[in-house]
A and B are shown apart, each in its own frame.
Chain A
Amino acid sequence: MASSAAVPFWRTAGMTYITYSNICANLVRNCLKEPFKAEALSREKVHFSISKWAGGKPEKPILRSDTPGV
């Protein structure tokens, strides 16, 4: 079947398994009917601020959020 060097398309695109499974979960959540759909989508909200450090100094923090500016 597949050769040992075959990787799934998403890994060659740079995604990790985590991102892949999250996208699949999002697709499943979007299949729900209305009242449950809003509840389920509210469980997907992301908000945190991450900053890389180089040599003991923090660089500018990046805000990863679905609701920027809040």
Chain B
Amino acid sequence: MAMAVFRREGRRLLPSIAARPIAAIRSPLASDQEEGLLGVRSISTQVVRNRMKSVKNIQKITKAMKMVAASKLRAVQGRAENSRGLWQPFTALLGDNPSIDVKKSVVVTLSSDKGLCGGINSTVVKVSRALYKLNAGPEKEVKFVIVGEKAKAIMFRDSKNDISLTVTELNKNPLNYAQVSVLADDILKNVEFDALRIVYNKFHSVVAFLPTVATVLSPEIIEKESEVGGKLGELDSYEIEGGETKGEILQNLAEFQFSCVMFNAVLENACSEMGARMSAMDSSSRNAGEMLDRLTLTYNRTRQASITTELIEIISGASALEAAK
């Protein structure tokens, strides 16, 4: 991430400058290295100037990335907010049962393909792992379906035996319902589940994204739960038109619900990714600016020190000549 790059740059910088300890050092490691290097050492101003040029370029790039993320966010935000209306009727009809206890859960983790977007991917992975712990046990199994390169890389490290599908390159074309529904179809056909838990970052505002879990139940579980009562028990009071049975309608509804919830989740995750990238790039540009200020001070100090050294040499040479006369 950009922050780590700057911290590394800072550490590399200090041994070579060494003229005086710079105030406000960020990492304690750097100050240890510095103790041995106190003392006057004149360093070429060329090195400092090169560093300043590269930091300025980095600052320009991160500013540009922030603008790009901001414009993409504007485009997706409207669609995400409108797509919330797709799953609201389902929740009104079937209720939301995040705490349902089922034998086979499948956790669908949504993440981004590209990096430099702050901590959103790691929060999603943390929530997925927590869900795994919650739902695992004797006779129960949890499988992962991972969307996005970043979560794949993180989950591969310790949960690779539980991954059943991974999907990448979803964001290559602008997101649309057709794409997400084909994906949902693939997941339905390849993975057996009693309950699907979709983990994504819900977009609340440009600086606030909360990891959320949306639960979609399979039609058999809905049948079972409707016998128990509660919200699902009222399903029988609805009239069914056409020649279909309740079981068929539940199956259609469950598939469509999954597709709608996935669509909304993918859009919200994309919004959160853009927002997180905006704030990450913003703080990178600010850090680059601060680093540039410190480098400028060092540059001036170095320059003045070398001028002073020259003057001293000239004057002492001249006074030696005079004394010799």
Residue interface mask A48-59, B partner, CB < 8 A = 1: 111111011010
Minimum CB–CB distance from A34 to chain B (whole Å) comes to: 20
A44 and B176: CB pair below 8 A?
A: yes
Which residues of A are found within 8 Å of B128, using beta-carbon distances?
Answer: none
B160 and A18: CB pair below 8 A?
A: no
Which residues of A are found within 8 Å of B251, using beta-carbon distances?
Answer: 17
Main secondary structure of the interface of A (DSSP, over half): mixed
Q: How far is the CA of A26 from the CA of B105 in the complex (A)?
A: 32
The answer to whether A30 has its CB under 8 Å from any CB of chain B is: no
Main secondary structure of the interface of B (DSSP, over half): helix
Which residue of the partner chain, among B179, B186, B244, B252, contacts A45 with CB atoms under 8 Å? B179
Q: A44-B178, A45-B179 are in contact. Are A17 and B169 (CB under 8 A)?
A: no
Would you list which residues of chain B between 26 and 53 have a CB under 8 Å from chain A? none
Which residues of A are found within 8 Å of B245, using beta-carbon distances?
Answer: 4
Which residue of the partner chain, among B163, B184, B258, contacts A53 with CB atoms under 8 Å? B163
Which residue of the partner chain, among A1, A52, A53, contacts B243 with CB atoms under 8 Å? A1
- Closest residue of chain A to B143 (Cβ to Cβ) is A53
B161 and A55: CB pair below 8 A?
A: yes
B243 and A16: CB pair below 8 A?
A: no
- Closest residue of chain B to A44 (Cβ to Cβ) is B178
Would you list which residues of chain A between 17 and 45 have a CB under 8 Å from chain B? 17-19, 21-22, 25, 43-45
Which residues of B are found within 8 Å of A44, using beta-carbon distances?
Answer: 176, 178
Which residue of the partner chain, among A4, A6, A19, A25, contacts B185 with CB atoms under 8 Å? A19
Sorting the interface of chain A by its residue count into under 10, 10 to 19, 20 to 34 or 35 or more gives: 20 to 34
Which residues of B are found within 8 Å of A17, using beta-carbon distances?
Answer: 251-252, 255-256
B166 and A45: CB pair below 8 A?
A: no
Which residues of B are found within 8 Å of A4, using beta-carbon distances?
Answer: 245
Would you list which residues of chain B between 153 and 186 have a CB under 8 Å from chain A? 160-161, 163-170, 172-173, 176-179, 181-186
The answer to whether A7 has its CB under 8 Å from any CB of chain B is: yes
Q: How far is the CA of A44 from the CA of B179 in the complex (A)?
A: 7
B166 and A48: CB pair below 8 A?
A: no
Residue interface mask B225-247, A partner, CB < 8 A = 1: 00000000000000000011100
- 22 inter-chain pairs at a CB distance below 8 angstroms, sorted by A residue, are A1-B243, A8-B244, A17-B255, A18-B185, A18-B188, A18-B255, A18-B258, A46-B179, A47-B169, A47-B170, A47-B173, A48-B168, A48-B169, A48-B170, A49-B167, A50-B166, A51-B165, A52-B190, A53-B163, A53-B165, A56-B160, A56-B161
Q: Which B residues fall within an 8 A CB radius of A?
A: 160-161, 163-170, 172-173, 176-179, 181-186, 188-190, 243-245, 248, 251-252, 255-256, 258-259
